[in-house]
């Protein structure tokens, strides 16, 4: 069953990210390390012993009681200056806390494997702090820290690690302390473009008699394709309360697991789904990127989650919303909720794989047009509620055709303007009445 799930997830990833090219993918489930070059031979194998995921992982198996073992595999044709490159892998050590002499790292990209120039991510390539770090490597020696995390690697640690490099040389390092990549946390970003040759992916392990044989690597994926994130914060008028938003739709269990914008007027065909509704989720929202102000300039659309604190996140409930196949650059970002009026950034904003946060709530003028937001409390602005049918206009038909038929009912309803899970008199009197006649400032 798990294999089918993995297959479906991988298939979905390919369908939604057709601009992605895979340069290396190995979960070792074929039970071999064909194509990997070992140094020396017989120091690694695809092993069922202690496998991280599935039946097999790459495992250190040297009979030596001290030394350094390495392996690498070619990345044919990867040009890291052309697009964003993403490396992912699970890395696990056994019952030893790393030291100056028991240490390991993965090379996301190397120029060559004799005089090693490139980058390495792991622990104690330099020093003995055990902290997960991304280094630049010149002639096999550490040549500066690119990104240092606060993560202290201990005995029996499994980490899911993701490294990205955009075409301009901006690196970001993320890790998931449960293994896998569902809860990656960013440790920061930094630019280093000293090396651009990415001929090999590899790994090194220095060990003694206790640590030998106690290192595993699995689920390696190296792919490239442009990707940007939108890092947006906004509030909605209906559920706003003091300084955050209410989460009644989540606690009432009425939020759907699949994005709700497939029908008119949104007609969005995306396949975004989440396994469970987080307690801090307020509602779904559509996020659009445009190169101009006009609707016809829309280059990407994603369904996302709006959280209690106003952050608009991807399906993991914490990361900024990721857009595959989109080049870094300046874009207008549109937020389009179900029954609040859509807003667009007042100007194009710079998007990359590590975008700066844009906060609509900080000022009325953060949103394109005039009167696009309402002041919720002194100095905090939000999206205007009352558009039951989501057509961008708060009109009599929202009341007559929708509120009047839904009033008294509970659930996920268009005329539940305050998102409390109930369509009641206050939805009409306290919200629709105040806003009728207003329309979105976003051109559709
Ligand atoms: Ca595996
Ligand atoms: Ca440690
Ligand atoms: Ca309407
Ligand atoms: Ca309500």
Position 442 in a domain: no
C-alpha 152: how far from chain center = 23
Indicate if 29 and 176 belong to the same structural domain.
Answer: yes
Q: Which residues surround ligand 1, an ion (CB under 5 A)?
A: 27-28, 53-54, 56-57, 218
Residue pair 44/33 in contact by the 8 Å Cβ criterion: yes
Position 7 in a domain: no
- Ligand 4 centroid to Cα of residue 406, in Å, is 10
Indicate if 262 and 178 belong to the same structural domain.
Answer: no
- Say which CATH number the domain at 194 has: 2.60.120.200
Q: Of 172, 195, 225, which residue sits at a domain end?
A: 225
Position 215 in a domain: yes
Q: Tens of pLDDT along the chain (444 residues)?
A: 444 444 444 434 333 334 679 999 999 999 999 999 999 999 999 999 999 999 999 999 998 999 999 999 999 999 999 989 999 999 999 999 999 999 999 999 999 888 899 999 999 999 999 999 999 999 999 999 999 999 999 999 999 999 999 888 999 999 999 999 877 788 888 999 999 999 999 999 999 999 999 999 999 999 998 889 999 999 999 999 999 999 999 999 999 999 999 999 999 988 888 889 999 999 999 999 999 999 999 999 999 999 999 999 998 898 899 998 888 899 999 999 999 999 999 999 999 888 899 999 999 999 999 999 999 999 999 999 999 999 999 999 999 999 999 999 999 999 999 999 999 999 999 999 999 999 999 999
Position 25 in a domain: yes
Strands of 179-239, DSSP E: 185-191, 200-207, 215-224, 227-230, 232-233
- Ligand 2 centroid to Cα of residue 109, in Å, is 26
Indicate if 187 and 219 belong to the same structural domain.
Answer: yes
Q: Which of 156, 186, 221, 168 is nearest to 25 (CA)?
A: 221
- Ligand 3 centroid to Cα of residue 334, in Å, is 18
Q: What pTM did the predictor assign?
A: 0.68
Which ligand approaches the C-alpha of residue 25 most closely? 1
Residue pair 130/97 in contact by the 8 Å Cβ criterion: yes
Half-sphere exposure of 47 (CA within 13 A, CB side): 18
Position 9 in a domain: no
Indicate if 146 and 29 belong to the same structural domain.
Answer: yes
Position 210 in a domain: yes
Q: How far is CA 357 from CA 149, 229, 285, 303, 311, in A?
A: 21, 10, 17, 18, 9
Indicate if 296 and 363 belong to the same structural domain.
Answer: yes
Give the pairing type, strands 329-336 and 103-110. Answer: unpaired
- Ligand 3 centroid to Cα of residue 397, in Å, is 7
Indicate if 220 and 246 belong to the same structural domain.
Answer: no
Residue pair 386/393 in contact by the 8 Å Cβ criterion: no
Indicate if 413 and 384 belong to the same structural domain.
Answer: yes
The pLDDT, as a whole number, for residue 402 is: 98
- Ligand 1 centroid to Cα of residue 180, in Å, is 11
Distance CA 124, CA 322 (A): 32
Q: Find out whether the peptide bond into 409 is cis, omega within 30 degrees of 0.
A: no
- Ligand 2 centroid to Cα of residue 206, in Å, is 15
The pLDDT, as a whole number, for residue 270 is: 87
Indicate if 415 and 357 belong to the same structural domain.
Answer: yes
- Ligand 1 centroid to Cα of residue 218, in Å, is 5
Q: Of 178, 203, 225, which residue sits at a domain end?
A: 225
For the record, the structure tokens of 228 come out as: 């940007």
Distance CA 424, CA 231 (A): 34
How many domains is the chain partitioned into structurally? 2
Indicate if 76 and 118 belong to the same structural domain.
Answer: yes
Which ligand approaches the C-alpha of residue 409 most closely? 4
Indicate if 181 and 221 belong to the same structural domain.
Answer: yes
- Ligand 2 centroid to Cα of residue 154, in Å, is 4
Half-sphere exposure of 362 (CA within 13 A, CB side): 10
Which ligand approaches the C-alpha of residue 217 most closely? 1
| Residue reference for tokens 């919200």 | 431
Helix (H, G, I), strand (E, B), or coil: what is residue 398?
Answer: helix
Indicate if 188 and 333 belong to the same structural domain.
Answer: no
Position 14 in a domain: no
- Ligand 2 centroid to Cα of residue 50, in Å, is 21
Q: Which residues surround ligand 4, an ion (CB under 5 A)?
A: 416, 418, 420, 422, 427
Q: Of 225, 251, 270, which residue sits at a domain end?
A: 225
Indicate if 210 and 327 belong to the same structural domain.
Answer: no
Residue pair 197/85 in contact by the 8 Å Cβ criterion: no
Position 5 in a domain: no
For the record, the structure tokens of 66 come out as: 């001290």
C-alpha 332: how far from chain center = 20
- Ligand 4 centroid to Cα of residue 419, in Å, is 5
Distance CA 279, CA 244 (A): 14
Please give the residue range of the domain that contains residue 250. Answer: 228-435
Q: How far is CA 116 from CA 166, 171, 266, 284, in A?
A: 22, 19, 52, 47
Alpha-carbon torsion (397, 401, 402, 404), positive or negative:
positive
- Ligand 2 centroid to Cα of residue 289, in Å, is 43
Which ligand approaches the C-alpha of residue 265 most closely? 3
Number of CB atoms found within 10 A of residue 51's CB: 19
């Amino acid at each position: 069953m798990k294999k089918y799930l993995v297959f479906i997830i991988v298939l979905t990833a390919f369908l939604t990210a057709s601009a992605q090219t895979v340069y290396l993918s190995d979960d070792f489930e074929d039970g071999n390390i064909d194509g990997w070059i070992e140094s020396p031979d017989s120091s690694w194998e695809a092993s069922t012993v202690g496998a991280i995921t599935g039946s097999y992982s790459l495992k250190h198996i040297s009979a030596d009681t001290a030394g350094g073992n390495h392996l690498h595999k070619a990345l044919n044709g990867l040009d890291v200056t052309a697009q964003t490159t993403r490396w992912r892998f699970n890395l696990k050590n056994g019952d030893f806390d790393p030291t100056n002499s028991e240490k390991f790292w993965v090379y996301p990209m190397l120029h060559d494997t004799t005089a090693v120039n490139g980058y390495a991510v792991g622990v104690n390539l330099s020093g003995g702090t055990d902290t997960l770090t991304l280094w630049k490597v010149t002639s096999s020696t550490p040549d500066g820290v690119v990104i240092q995390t606060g993560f202290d690697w201990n005995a029996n640690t499994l980490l899911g690690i993701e490294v990205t490099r955009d075409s301009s040389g901006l690196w970001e390092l993320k890790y998931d302390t449960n293994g896998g990549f569902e809860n990656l946390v960013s440790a920061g970003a930094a630019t280093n473009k000293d090396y651009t040759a990415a001929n090999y992916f590899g790994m090194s392990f220095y060990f003694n008699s206790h640590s030998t044989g106690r290192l595993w690597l699995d689920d390696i994926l190296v792919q490239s394709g442009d990707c940007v994130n939108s890092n947006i914060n906004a509030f909605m008028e209906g559920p706003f309360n003091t300084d955050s938003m209410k989460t009644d739709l989540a606690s009432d269990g009425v939020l759907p697991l699949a994005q709700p914008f497939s029908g008119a007027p949104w007609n969005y065909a995306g396949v975004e789904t989440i396994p469970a509704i987080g307690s801090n989720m307020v509602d779904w929202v559509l996020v659009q990127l445009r190169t101009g102000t006009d609707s016809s300039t829309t280059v990407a659309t994603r369904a996302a989650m709006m959280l209690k604190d106003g952050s608009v996140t991807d399906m993991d409930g914490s990361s900024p919303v990721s857009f595959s196949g989109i080049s870094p650059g300046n874009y207008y970002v549109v937020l389009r909720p179900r029954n609040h009026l859509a807003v667009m950034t007042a100007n194009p904003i710079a998007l990359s794989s590590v975008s700066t946060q844009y906060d609509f709530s900080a000022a009325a003028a953060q949103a394109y047009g005039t009167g696009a937001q309402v002041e919720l409390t002194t100095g905090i602005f939000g999206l205007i509620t009352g558009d039951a049918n989501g057509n961008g206009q708060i009109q009599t038909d929202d009341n007559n055709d929708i509120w009047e038929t839904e009033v008294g009912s509970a659930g996920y309803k268009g005329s539940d303007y305050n998102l409390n899970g109930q369509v009641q008199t206050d939805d009409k009197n306290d919200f629709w009445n105040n806003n009728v006649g207003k329309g979105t400032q976003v051109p559709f």
